[in-house]
Amino acid sequence: MDCNQQRRPQNGCSRPMMNNGQSSMPGCATQGSMNNSRNGSMNSPMNCSNMNNSRNNSVNNSRNHSMQGSWNNSRNNSMPGSGNSRTAMNGGGGGCGCGDSGNTRSNTAEMDSFAVGMAYVPWQRWNQTYDMHRGLSSGTIFPELDKPFCAAGRCGR
């Protein structure tokens, strides 16, 4: 059993956050790079132009944020999405207009520590379970995983 893995923080960073919301770990995403990811792919309409942008962003981020590269970038204070980039992205006033309220900032502060280009699944913890009858009919014994399934225009459980 890999006990170290279980104790590892689930945000993908093994070092604590700084007070300003930036990660103290080289290689962890900052606000700037999160915005890149969000604007570049998550909320973009699916058209060819944006898909190309998204692909380019991903490729660039991937190149720049490979583990070795990130460490080196951080040492040189030139990591994309570092403090200067963040100021430019959010403080510049241009951009998405999605606001930068205190709540948003605090909610995204932890996410800032995520490395870009990686997928994360929150660590499941053992809680209540359905009884076996409901578990079989629901397709899971875990209430927190009992999500509506929407496909072909229908939603159901």
Partner 1 sequence: MKNEYLHQVNMAGFALDEAVLYLDTHPGDAQAMSYYQMAREKYRQAVENYTSQVGPLFMSDVPESCSFSWVDEPWPWEGGCA
Give φ, ψ of 73 to 5 degrees: -60, -40
**Smaller CB distance to partner 1: residue 52 or 129?**
129
List of residues 6+ apart from 9 with CB closer than 8 A: none
Shortest distance, CB of residue 138 to partner 1, whole angstroms?
10
* Cα distances (angstroms) measured from residue 88 to each of 16, 36, 138: 24, 12, 47
Residues that bind partner 1 (CB under 8 A): 1, 3, 6, 124, 126, 129, 132-133, 135-136, 140-142
β-bridge partners, 156: 149
Shortest distance, CB of residue 119 to partner 1, whole angstroms?
15
**Smaller CB distance to partner 1: residue 71 or 142?**
142
Residue type, 34: M
Structure tokens at 157: 């459980």
Shortest distance, CB of residue 141 to partner 1, whole angstroms?
4
**Smaller CB distance to partner 1: residue 72 or 140?**
140
Shortest distance, CB of residue 117 to partner 1, whole angstroms?
22
